[in-house]
Amino acid sequence: MFLTGCVTGKNGAPIPNASVELKDKNFETLYQTHSDATGHYQLDVPPGCYPFLTAVKEYAVQYLEYWCQDIPLTKPLSLDVSFDRLEVYGLHVFAVKGAGNGRMAYCRPMSLDKFQQGKQDLAPGGLSFTALLDGSPAPILQVSPVKEVAGEQEMTAYLVQIQAPSGGTVWNKCELQVQDQDGNYGAAAIFHCPG
């Protein structure tokens, strides 16, 4: 089954020689390739639903990772990816039953600058969020910071309420993009898995 796409930076310029990996639920690499001189990549893998895809180049030096989750490879799929100095980690999207037509997106954005400075909380400042449902812009209704605790470490995450299409339409792919006050960018996506 073919998975193809283009790797770009925040300004849309292609990124050659980026590592693109399909991973299992334990984050172990199953399949890997690199983007070519035009930013394009291709993987030929067995059909299935893959838990994670990551893309990056010069990790923690120049860029942080792009993440995609629950990649459905039951037919050939095109998946363009983009990354910069922010990472949108742990993206989950869910509906709150009885709470209208919105969707809640949870994620923990991280900043390369804060990582390189050795900060404990890697959340960038002055974030703005953009959401896409199946490639179409979806209005953001509310953004709420959340304190996430891992061991003795406290990190800032966000709960983002997204207006879903009317009529109870089920989305196939949700993308969340973030930009900080310095113009740094990050993105992640997740596919909808019924059940």
d(CA 94, CA 191): 11
The two beta strands, 66-73 and 185-191, are parallel
Do 79 and 5 meet the contact criterion of CB atoms below 8 Å apart? yes
The pLDDT tens digits of the residues spanning 141-173 come to 999 999 999 888 899 999 999 987 765 567 899
Residue 195 has pLDDT above 50, yes or no: no
What pLDDT shows up at residue 96? 80
